[in-house]
Amino acid sequence: MATKSKESKQIQKARAKLAAQLEKDTEQITPEAIKKTATQIQGWIARHASERISLQDKGIELFDENKSSARTTSAHIRDLRTHLESEIQRSNATMEQLKGRIKVAKQMEVPSPTISREGQKLNDVIDDLHNI
């Protein structure tokens, strides 16, 4: 059975300092201090009552799964989204042009390659951009 090694003087000093600080903090928590803090909180709430929003006047809706997402403020993201949308449209147009020209004998299922964590994150970002 292993025994614990003796604590160094630095550890003993730090432990004593923390114990003293904890005791000092514990002494400051009194019923009077709690009442004083509660009064201060109530005063703060009363002072800022004019800034509060009345929930009866404002409608609250649950999260709508990003169906009505916020506007994109970043020009880079907006350009990226536009570029991706144009790529998709070009791809769809090409598929429409080739429709009927290419004969597919049998649809084969190709196993999807393993995607790294970074690749999956990129796919998620692209999916999110489609939903914007």
In a domain, 20, yes or no: yes
Residue 35 in any domain: the answer is: yes
Q: What is the pLDDT of residue 112?
A: 56
Query: What is the rounded radius of gyration, in angstroms, for the C-alpha atoms of the chain?
Result: 32
Q: Does residue 19 form part of some domain?
A: yes
Give the CA diameter of the chain.
86
* Number of domains making up the chain: 1
Cα distance between residue 108 and residue 33, in whole Å? 74
In a domain, residue 128? The reply is no
The answer as to whether 78 is a domain residue is no
**pLDDT for the residue numbered 94:** 83
- State residue 26's pLDDT score: 92
pLDDT at 18: 97
Residue 2 lies in a domain: no
pLDDT, residue 31, reads: 92
pLDDT value at position 64? Answer: 65
Residue-level pLDDT at 10: 95
Domain extent for 31: 10-46
pLDDT for residue 109: 60
The pLDDT assigned to 20 comes to 97
- What pLDDT is attached to residue 97? 80
- Tell me which residues of the chain have a pLDDT lower than 50: none
Q: What is the pLDDT of residue 99?
A: 77
Domain membership of residue 42 (yes or no) is yes
Q: What is the pLDDT of residue 39?
A: 96
Instruction: Report the number of secondary-structure helices (H) and strands (E) in the chain.
Output: 4, 0
Asked if 132 contacts 79 with a C-beta cutoff of 8 angstroms, the reply is no
- Is the residue at 85 inside a domain? no
What integer pLDDT is reported at residue 14 of this predicted model?
Answer: 96
